[in-house]
Amino acid sequence: MRVRDTGDLWWKTAVIYCLDIETFMDWDDDGVGDVHGLTQRIDHLADLGVTCLWLMPFYPTADRDDGYDITDFLGVDPRLGDVGDLVELVRTARDRGIRVIADLVVNHTSDRHPWFRSARRSKDSPYRDYYVWSATKPPDTSDQVVFPDQEQGIWTLDEATGEWYRHRFYRHQPDLNTANPRVRDEIAKVVSYWTQLGLSGFRVDAVPFFLADTAKSPHDDLEDPHDYLRDLRSFLTRRNGEAILMGEVNLPYEQQRRFFGDDDGDGTADGTELTLQFDFVGMQQLYLSLARQDARPLATTLAGRPTIPHDAQWATFVRNHDELTLDKLSDDERAEVFAAFGPDPDMQLYGRGLRRRLPTMLDGDPRHVRMVYSLLFSLPGTPVLFYGEEIGMGENLAAEGRLAVRTPMQWNEGHNGGFSRAAPSRLPGPVVEDGYAPVHVNVAAQRRDPDSLLTFVTTLAHRYRECPELGWAREVEILDQPHDSVLAHRVTWGDGSMVALHNFAPRAVTVPLRLPDCVPEDDGPAVRLADLLQAGDTELDERGRAELELPAYGYRWLRVVRDGDRRLL
């Protein structure tokens, strides 16, 4: 195994951290987080082991969808700072070994964007075809609405011109028409601009919606929507050879495969479309396993993950900035997860997801929480953290919808959790209260506690970085053992191999393992399993067998060590 091989495809072993500048750190005390505040806190991320910072939208916005309703793709919202501040953030982060990527939200604009303001004034506007219009009243589309509690359909009548415009999300977010080459040129300009200013790529929002109109015009020079995604990836790579596209594609695995650029499904070619895709299927099966205290749903899903192109990667996660979607589970399975982790209807959203963070869903049991994060970092792929996960932040259900998990970052036990000195009424949202309030959960206290969750997640991040097989292994091997509550998996790359054990149940078990390829040679030293999270080794017998103790919600990371191995333990 050559560690230097991991340098070019940096995303395969990155630790990604997502945050909203608005809620991270307010340095000028106006109540809103800002770029300067984030820059001042960049060392927290560096100490944690973050290697890639993902910024949620920071662009000028009408602020009716927490920044996703953009009025200018080439600017920084003045509440947060300016372009010069962002360049300084990128430079400072790079000095700490952290690349920066940002949300690319080009499925739609705000209805206050200059393009749409022009488009709705006249059918002869040069920006009219930047959007999708219908001269006749569309049929009922209530079954296509993304936010069923807010919209009854995806078309809205524009009184000025008497035509309907399409919006798959909110009516104040009209869809861009990617069948129009001029729109695609505008998107390329956005990608080029921010890449030139130092970004290392983008998290692409709502990819299937974004591609929906491409190649549908009779005069379009594209024959397939994926041609556009390939063109965009190629363009980005020409501007910055290390840059990535990390896509939000919540589809079954077989459909996700195409978004990597693997048209024939053999997983052998280099990816030509998205560099990374979020593993929504695996995440949802994880929560089903947690609800049942049964690892088998997740184990079956991991075993069925398709092989993906060599330079592509799965982005694994426990929580993100949206609702915890469970839409790929059956109705009965979703009901099980709701009953376990969100029985109150106020904890649920859109009939398909939860608006809670992990610690509150697990009743604050530190053993259970740590087991899940151990699992996250040990899964083959690139782990993605949502801000505050490293300290075990909770949610505030008093906030509307998905904003329940987008509360201000908790830096210390003081006023507003150290986020801002402004009056609470001026903050972008309410601070978490009750048992997860800043007085109980904050960075400052956990930095000084060797047994804190922050210390533990930092250890996981560093151990993950020391185990490139976790990012580079072509597949995951599910190991046979008798306990339904235990996930035992192994990943191997070159001469590096690691076994991970995780117990989903609140009872201790003894796990027998057999690794047939780890039988010691005649008269040679035994092969052993070196524990990477605690002191001690486990010897394998002459048949490659061992028994390992797992406490309630226990976890073990075990490196296969042979005679002559020179890797640090």
CATH of the domain at 536: 2.60.40.1180
Domain boundary among 166, 191, 206: 166
Per-residue CA distances from 438 to 443, 489, 511 (Å): 9, 37, 39
Measure the CA angle with vertex 457, ends 203 and 550; round to 5°: 120
Which structure tokens are listed for 331? 């109705």
The domain of 551 spans: 475-561
Alpha helices in 214-279, H assignment, sequence order: 225-239, 253-259
User: Residue 498 domain-assigned?
Assistant: yes
pLDDT tens for the 569 residues of the chain, in order: 577 777 889 999 999 999 999 999 999 999 999 999 999 999 999 999 999 999 999 999 999 999 999 999 999 999 999 999 999 999 999 999 999 999 999 999 999 999 999 999 999 999 999 999 999 999 999 999 999 889 999 999 999 999 999 999 999 999 999 999 999 999 999 999 999 999 999 999 999 999 999 988 877 789 899 999 999 999 999 999 999 999 999 999 999 999 999 877 676 666 899 999 999 999 999 999 999 999 999 999 999 999 999 999 999 999 999 999 999 999 999 999 999 999 999 999 999 999 999 999 999 999 999 999 999 999 999 999 999 999 999 999 999 999 999 999 999 999 999 999 999 999 999 999 999 999 999 999 999 999 999 999 999 999 999 999 999 998 999 999 999 999 999 999 988 999 999 999 999 999 999 999 998 776 666 789 999 999 989 999 989 999 999 999 999 999 999 887 878 77
User: Residue 513 domain-assigned?
Assistant: yes
Domain boundary among 140, 166, 192: 166
Domain boundary among 166, 189, 209: 166
Give the burial string for 474-503 (b: 16+ CB within 10 Å, else e): eebbbbebebebbbbbbbbbeebbbbbbbb
- Max Cα–Cα distance, the chain, nearest Å: 87
User: Residue 485 domain-assigned?
Assistant: yes
**Residue 205 known to be catalytic:** yes
Which structure tokens are listed for 93? 């982060």
User: Residue 507 domain-assigned?
Assistant: yes
User: Residue 311 domain-assigned?
Assistant: no
Which structure tokens are listed for 475? 């597949």
User: Residue 69 domain-assigned?
Assistant: no
Active-site residue (options: 175, 205, 262, 333): 205
User: Using CA atoms, how far apart are residues 496 and 521, in angstroms rounded to an integer?
Assistant: 18
Active-site residue (options: 22, 34, 85, 248): 248
CATH number of the domain to which 133 belongs? 3.90.400.10
Asked if residues 350 and 342 have their Cβ atoms less than 8 Å apart, the reply is no
- For position 221, what pLDDT does the model report? 82
User: Residue 363 domain-assigned?
Assistant: no
**Residue 65 known to be catalytic:** no
- How many structural domains does the chain have? 2
User: Using CA atoms, how far apart are residues 359 and 347, in angstroms rounded to an integer?
Assistant: 14
**CB-CB neighbours of 236 under 10 Å:** 21
Asked if residues 381 and 434 have their Cβ atoms less than 8 Å apart, the reply is no
- For position 184, what pLDDT does the model report? 96
User: Residue 51 domain-assigned?
Assistant: no
Which one, of 212, 214, 210, 190, lies nearest residue 202 by Cα? 190
Asked if residues 408 and 441 have their Cβ atoms less than 8 Å apart, the reply is no
User: Using CA atoms, how far apart are residues 84 and 87, in angstroms rounded to an integer?
Assistant: 5
User: Using CA atoms, how far apart are residues 272 and 5, in angstroms rounded to an integer?
Assistant: 20
